[in-house]
Amino acid sequence: QWYQRRVREAVVSTQSTGYTTKTPQKLKLIDAYLGYIMVTGIIQFVYCCLVGTFPFNSFLSGFISTVASFVLGVCLRIQVNPANNIVFKDISVERAFADFIFAHGVLHLVVLNFIG
């Protein structure tokens, strides 16, 4: 039992130290952004649970906006990660960023229309 706890602690610490040291700054920025998006989505969801779903379109558009932004952020992170360079040879960092910006433009137009 104590043995299992020791292993668990070691795994957790390796993960966290591994993260802070090994992750490039760019990715950490994106991760912070992703965390922010997620927290915003959770807060919106909690609000909806508290006060009910009226107006439903507003809740949907807000929540889905956070979800879609999170997804786009993840895509950007994957494409920008140097470790994945082999897979994403043809897509430069700038191109990934441009796609990210464009997709966000479209997303926000749709969300603003639906939010009512």
Residue 35 touches another protein, criterion: CB under 8 A: yes
Estimate the crossing angle of helix 25-51 against helix 56-80, to 10 degrees: 170
Residues in region 58-97 near another protein by CB under 8 A: 92-95, 97
Cis peptide preceding 24, ω within 30 of 0: no
Residue 7 touches another protein, criterion: CB under 8 A: no
Rg (CA), the chain: 19
Residue 32 touches another protein, criterion: CB under 8 A: yes
Closest by CA position to 111, among listed 74, 75, 68, 48: 68
Nearer to another protein, 6 or 85 (CB): 85
Which residues make up the interface to another protein (CB under 8 A)?
25, 28-29, 32-33, 35-36, 39-40, 43-44, 47, 50-52, 54-55, 92-95, 97-98, 101, 105, 108-109, 112-113, 115
